[in-house]
Amino acid sequence: MWQTDADTNISDCAERIMESIGYALYMHRQELGRPRRCRRLMRIASTKLRLTNELIWLERCQWQLEEPDYQQWSALNREREYRDILEHNMQQQQLKQQQLRQRQLDRRRHETCQNTARPV
């Protein structure tokens, strides 16, 4: 069987992605192994998002070689839906963190203003 340049490019790309996925899974496992109070949930979510995006992209690359069947389309749609939900949750979490920081800053400013306004 003859291998074309497109096949070579796809296989090289897939190999790099698999190495990247392996490292990302390793880092994800390391993060999950940390004590619960030290886990960085946004880092875990961003790793999940990255892995999901890479898996979606890898699926799309494989489809250049052969026509996908119904199960493959269904799996891809589930992965996309998961990705969209994960992105939404991450955005909501970032918004909550920004609001919390803003409240803390407002509280500090208010306390500072009260302390400077008091007569000695």
Residue 103 confidence (pLDDT): 93
Domain enclosing residue 81, as ranges: 5-117
Tokens 């803003």, located at residue: 102
Per-residue pLDDT at 16 exceeds 90: no
What 51-58 contacts at long range (C-beta under 8 Å, 24+ apart), as own/partner pairs, is 51/21, 51/24, 51/25, 52/79, 52/82, 52/83, 52/86, 53/83, 54/17, 54/20, 54/21, 54/24, 55/21, 55/79, 56/80, 56/83, 57/17, 58/14, 58/17
Average pLDDT, the chain: 77
Domain count, the chain: 1
